[in-house]
Amino acid sequence: MTKDWESYKAAIRQLYVTEAKTLDEVQRVLRGQGFDASIRAYRMKLDAWGIRKNASIHIRKKRRLDESDSPESESSIQCTDSETLFSSGLQQTPARKAGETTGSAISDSLKPEGLPSASQPHTNKPSEFEVRLRRALAEFKFTLPYRPLKVHELIRMLAEPCPEDVRNFFTLELLLAKWQSDGSYLKMTLDLLPDFDAAFLTDFYGGNMFKVIDQMVAPHEKPVLTKACLERILVAMANWPDEYQSGNPIYAWQEPLWAASRATSWKDVKSTLRDDRLRQEVMGASFFDCALLVVAEDLLASCMKRIKAARRIAWLNGDIEGVQELRDEYMDVLGDFVDAAPEFDLDRSWYKFALKMSKWKDQTIEDKKSTNANQPQQEQRQANSSENDRSIAQKPQNRVFDFVFGYADPSSAYVSPPPSVPVNDEQDIRKVHLSSRTEHSSGNNQFLDVCSYAAIIDSPSLSPTGKTPSSNTYNLAELSIEWLESVSRGEHSIVAGF
């Protein structure tokens, strides 16, 4: 039976958004009112309505949890400023004040030898980020073990009966809290990003996920993860523009990234991001380098698409307005990454396309030189050919030949029959001409039509397919020329078909 979702839409919005209840709680409340639906159905309907929970409500909840004493806490941490829970905690730790880097203490013991460390020296205590995360999860009755977890163990915990809000809004935080730099956590995170459609990025309640990534992830994995997150966010910005546009950004990175992604030139992109470099303490050290790289590739993709389209219609010659500007813009972007570190460099496919553009340009220049050099010779050959054809046309063998050629240049493909043509011959030829017009209505192309049909009637062997003329399968121009050449050699009679 179809459920009357619209009647309960206001109630669902009130419970889920305004009162910040989980979907499990919403389901229980409405089930008591006689409306029963699965959690999956709720999620699909919320997506269809475009209803998303206000992240600031959950941030305030987490802040209240953080400010209260918790029996699970293994370190006394006070959050006194107006920063969000996780960002504030990371900035106020003694390790950060001393210039050290915090992180998962257990990750280093499981890190392969030779890999750079992303965390502080090994201790028996969980990271402060993990302690704070555990406090927030207590609101949803979800317990995060203290022991190190293999990535498959953590993912198993996120399956049913895990609260749906934990799955949807804490996945990235949980992965970061238990991060191990052996590649398994990085691979799992990259696999999950498209499935979540950036949901656990836009609703990351740590305040600033890029700063947490800087704290928790090993240096050799940090650029890869940051770049992947930014790529997914650009997709989300395209799908949900109203939630990202300037005005009231929830996160510090939102406004500069939004502005850079909407810039129409590479100069504007650099100006937007580099003007905000002073905000690295808020953004995270990797944000700007990776943001510049991601937006650059997005701009290059747009330029490449437009340049290829221009080439397909033979505009890639520098003469058409806008094409040269596109090519210059593309090369300007590449020029700014010449000295980039390998982890922040463009993919080599962008450089390969630049080489192709260079070859196209060189070929265009050579073609133009060749055309200009051959222009006088081509004009002379055309003049000679026209004279020869005209001399042949002016030597008619009979009235039919005179009608076919008239007094015009055969290459003009237009003949005005002279009035001296006998009626019987003219009727015969018009009969052929009219039959041709039923299949080939190409203006005044009488010359090609008549010659083609005369050729087919006179010598069926000239027909490529052996079919009748009405099949419209012949290249009339080529067939006419071949027939006329055979006539000039005396191989066929001009009136054979008539």
Within this chain, do residues 298 and 413 fall inside the same structural domain, yes or no? no
| 223 pLDDT higher than 90 | yes
72 inside domain: yes
Within this chain, do residues 373 and 328 fall inside the same structural domain, yes or no? yes
- The confidence score (pLDDT) of residue 403 equals 37
Owning domain of residue 204:
58-224
pLDDT digits (tens, 9 = 90+) for 323-338: 778 888 999 999 999 8
Q: Peptide bond preceding 223: is omega within 30 degrees of 0, i.e. cis?
A: no
- Residue 264 — very low, low, confident or very high, per pLDDT cuts 50/70/90? confident
Within this chain, do residues 127 and 257 fall inside the same structural domain, yes or no? no
- Residue 277 — very low, low, confident or very high, per pLDDT cuts 50/70/90? low
- Cβ atoms of 91 and 66 within 8 Å: the answer is no
Choose between 177 and 49: higher pLDDT.
Answer: 177
Tokens of 471: 């099949």
The amino acid present at 458, given as its one-letter code, is D
Within this chain, do residues 300 and 368 fall inside the same structural domain, yes or no? yes
Residue of 56, 121, 58, 66 whose CA lies nearest to 88? 66
- The confidence score (pLDDT) of residue 279 equals 67
The amino acid present at 43, given as its one-letter code, is R
496 inside domain: no
Q: Return the exposure string of 155-171: e unless at least 16 CB atoms fall within 10 Å of the residue's CB, then b.
A: bebbeeeebbbbbbbbb
Within this chain, do residues 386 and 252 fall inside the same structural domain, yes or no? yes
- The confidence score (pLDDT) of residue 145 equals 86
| 159 pLDDT higher than 60 | yes
| 253 pLDDT higher than 60 | yes
| 229 pLDDT higher than 60 | yes
Within this chain, do residues 42 and 101 fall inside the same structural domain, yes or no? no
- Cβ atoms of 142 and 74 within 8 Å: the answer is no
Within this chain, do residues 271 and 213 fall inside the same structural domain, yes or no? no
| 153 pLDDT higher than 70 | yes
Domain boundary among 224, 257, 287: 224
Percent of the chain with pLDDT strictly greater than 90: 12
- The confidence score (pLDDT) of residue 113 equals 38
Within this chain, do residues 291 and 207 fall inside the same structural domain, yes or no? no
Within this chain, do residues 349 and 481 fall inside the same structural domain, yes or no? no
- Cβ atoms of 224 and 183 within 8 Å: the answer is no
| 71 pLDDT higher than 50 | no
pLDDT digits (tens, 9 = 90+) for 443-479: 434 444 445 444 444 444 444 444 444 433 344 444 4
Domain boundary among 195, 224, 253: 224
Within this chain, do residues 357 and 407 fall inside the same structural domain, yes or no? no
| 440 pLDDT higher than 60 | no
| 235 pLDDT higher than 90 | no
Looking at the structure of the chain, the number of domains it has is 4
Domain boundary among 374, 393, 412: 393
| 88 pLDDT higher than 60 | no
